[in-house]
Homo-oligomer: A and B are copies of this chain.
Amino acid sequence: MGDSTLLDELAVQATLARYCHRCDDADFAGVVALFTPDGVFTHGDRSVRGPEALLEYFQTMQGRPEQRGKHLMGNVVVRSDGDVARSVSDYVFFRFESQGLVPAIAGRYHDELVRLDGEWRIARRDAMRLNTPE
């Protein structure tokens, strides 16, 4: 393992960071551009594949003004092997509610990424949401 693996791990982290930036900027075309052409996003029992479906999904789920906020990702672990990488990370999404900014959602991302034309793109992102303990 050497230089190229390190470059890949940092590049993967940058792709995942940009996902957060672009979600919060409501740049959903930019979010979709981080996925591969047949990239998949899953959340709960929803699974969405391909640029058109992804764009519609993000616009619907995150497009309204009251959904603007801040995705803060941390605890990123990347494993890359050649042109494929896997990552596990945690996130908290903050948004404004009547009492001010609140941590509305916390969860985990499981990602599969591939190198495509020299860039690391998301082939599959599973976004898990932490539920209230029973």
Contact = CB atoms under 8 A, between A and B. Distances in A.
A104 B101 contact: yes
Given A65-B134, A133-B65, A75 B20 contact: yes
Interface in A69-93: 69-78, 88-92
A18 B77 contact: yes
**Tally of this chain's copies:** 3
A70 B106 contact: yes
Contacts of A104: 100-101
B7 A10 contact: no
Interface in A112-134: 130, 132-134
A105 interface: yes
A61 to B, nearest CB: 16
A69 B6 contact: no
A7 B6 contact: yes
Sorted from nearest, which 6 A-B pairs have the closest CB atoms?
A: A70-B106, A17-B75, A65-B133, A20-B75, A72-B74, A101-B103
Interface of A: 1-3, 5-7, 9-10, 13-14, 17-18, 20-21, 24, 65-66, 68-78, 88-92, 94, 96, 100-108, 130, 132-134
